[in-house]
Amino acid sequence: MYHERNYGLYIGGRWTWGTGSQKKGVLDPATGETIGHIPDATPEDIDQALAAAQAGFETWRKTPPWERAVKLRKVSDLLLERIDELCIVMATEAGKPLAEAKGEWLACAEQFEWYGEEAKRIFGQAYNGRDAATRMAVIYQPVGVVAAFSAWNFPALLPARKIAAALAAGCSVILKPAGETPASAAAILRACHEAGIPPGVVNMVTGNSARIAQQLIASPIVRKVSLTGSTPVGKQLLHLCADGVKKATMELGGHAPVLVFEDADVEAAAEACARGKFRNCGQVCASPSRFYVQDAAYDRFAKVFVDVAKQLKIGRFDQAGVTLGPMANARGLDHAKKLVADAVEKGAKLLTGGRVPVGFLRGYFYEPTVLGEVPDEARIMQDEPFSPIAPIARFKTLEEVIERANATPFGLTGYVFSRNLRTATLAAEALEVGMVGVNEVGIASAESPFGGIKESGMGREGGSIGIKDYLEAKFIKTRLI
C-alpha cells in the first residue's frame, strides 16, 4: 500500500523518495511480514525540508485566520470522506481492530475541525496606560517552524494534535512520524495537500529518528519542538532544545493510578477500567494502568475485570469479532513477558492471561493479563507497562493510596471512582497528574487540554490552551505624539 500511494518524504508540496538509497521496512504486527518501505532521509533531504518549511512559514503566517480555518476544515472533511479506506491503512500497520481505528480517525478529523475554529480566536489584550497618551497591548504571533515527532500507538491522532494546532497558529511543520506507522501520518499530509495547504507549510520526513531529531533541532530555522514519546526520548530532545533555547511541548510516558473506593459502583468501574486498559492492546500512555482498590471492593472489582479480559477476542483486524490486536513490535512483547514474570516472582497472583495465546505463532500477540495482590515493589507498579497487563492492589485509606499513587515519576493521568463527592474531589485534587477522570476513563477530546506534569512532560495539546504553545506573546507600548 505504501508504493501505490506514493508515500515517502513530503517536502515543499511534493512526494519524493529523497536523495539517498537507504530504506526501512514496515511490518504488519499481526504477522511480522514486511508490508512496505519508507525512505531514510539524508542530511540533504532534511536541509530541503527545513528550507521548504521556512518558505512555507513566510507564506502561511500572512494567511488570514479565516482562510486558514477554511482549509483546516477541508482537511477534516477529506479525512471523514475516506475514513473506511484509512481504517484499513491504520489497522494494517498498527494492528488495531477496525472499531478502534475508526474511533481514532474520527478524533483526528475533530482536531482539524476544532483548530480551524480556534484559528479565528487568537485573542490578544489591550489595556489603558498610566497616562492619557499611553496605549498598551499584547498580541500573539506564530512561533515559527515546528519540528514535530509522534509515536506509533496513535499514528493519526498524535500527528493531528500537532499539525492542526500549529497550522491554526500560523506556523509551518516538519513531521517525523514513527517508523512503525508512517502511512497513517502520510494520509494526513495527503489530505492537507488536497485541501490547498500551500507548499512547504506541512512537510514529512522518515528514517533514523535520532539523526533527524539532532539535525532539525540544531537548525536555527526550527523554533518549536513537539514530541509525543517516551520519557527517556523526551529528556534527550529537551537537551537538544536547550542548546538553541527552543520552545518545547513534551507529552511523555505515563503510568496512571486508578483509585476505586468501596462506595463506587464497583462493577461498572471494573468494566470501564478493563475496557480502557485493554484498548489498543494496552499501548496507551494515558490509559488506566495501576489499579488500587479499597479492601471491601477488591474481590468484586477483580472478578469483573477478569471476566472482561476473558471475553476479548484476539486476532488480526480482518478476522470477524476481533477486539484485541497485537502489540506493535517484538520489544514490547518481550517487555510484557518480563513484567509478568517479575510480578509473579514478587508474590502477585496471575488471575488470567500471562502468555502468548495458543495458535499465534506469528506476530506480537499477548493475552490480556490480570495480576492480583500486586506488591508495590513489583516492576509493573513502577515502570510504564505499555502492554495488555493490569496489576491490581489493595488499599485501606485515602491518605495511604494517595501516597502510593504519587510515588512514581510519572504524572500524566489518574482516575478516581467514588459516589462520595468529598472523597472524589479530595482524591482528584491530590493526585499529582495533569488530567483526572472521575467515574470516567475517556478523558481525551479535541476541546480538552492533554498533557502531564513531573516526568510525563510539559505543555498541553488540545483545547484552547493547546494553541498557545505555538504562539509567542508580544507586548507593544505606544506613546501618542
Beta strands in 9-151 (DSSP E): 9-11, 14-16, 23-27, 34-39, 125-128, 134-142, 145-149
**What is d(CA 10, CA 202) in angstroms, rounded to the nearest whole number?**
8
Do the bridges between strand 435-438 and strand 457-458 make them parallel or antiparallel, or are there none, so unpaired? unpaired
Answer for the pair 152, 94: CB distance below 8 angstroms, yes or no: yes
Instruction: Map grid coordinates 499465534 to a residue.
Output: 360
CB-CB neighbours of 442 under 10 Å: 10
Given the C-alpha cell 474481590, which residue does it identify? 299
Question: In 10 A of CB 98, how many CB atoms?
Answer: 16
The cell numbers describing 100, all together, are: 478502534
Q: What angle do CA 249, 252, 255 make, to 5 degrees?
A: 145
Range list of H helices, 266-379? 266-278, 295-311, 330-345
Q: Is the Cβ–Cβ distance between 259 and 238 less than 8 Å?
A: no
Per DSSP, what are the bridge partners of residue 282?
A: none
Contact status, residue 116 vs residue 455, Cβ threshold 8 Å:
no
Instruction: Please indicate whether residue 461 is annotated as part of the active site.
Output: no
User: Cα(413)–Cα(395) distance, rounded to whole angstroms?
Assistant: 19
User: Radius of gyration over alpha carbons of the chain, in Å?
Assistant: 23
DSSP-derived secondary structure for 155-175: TTHHHHHHHHHHHHHT-EEEE
Q: What is the DSSP letter of 143?
A: -
User: Per the residue annotation, which of 104, 251, 367, 455 is the catalytic one?
Assistant: 251
Residue 118, H or E segment: helix 98-118
CB 428 within 8 A of CB 413: no
Active site residue 251: yes
**Residue 285: in which H helix or E strand, if any?**
none
Using CA atoms, how far residue 33 sits from 92, 178, 180, 421, in Å, is 11, 18, 12, 51
Give me the catalytic one of 171, 241, 281, 285. Answer: 285
Between 83-94 and 98-118, two packed helices, what is the crossing angle to 10 degrees?
120
Is the separation of the CB atoms in 147 and 120 below 8 Å? no
| List of E strands, 268-397 | 288-294, 349-352, 369-372, 389-395
**Residue 400 CB neighbours (<10 A):** 11
What residues are labeled active site? 251, 285
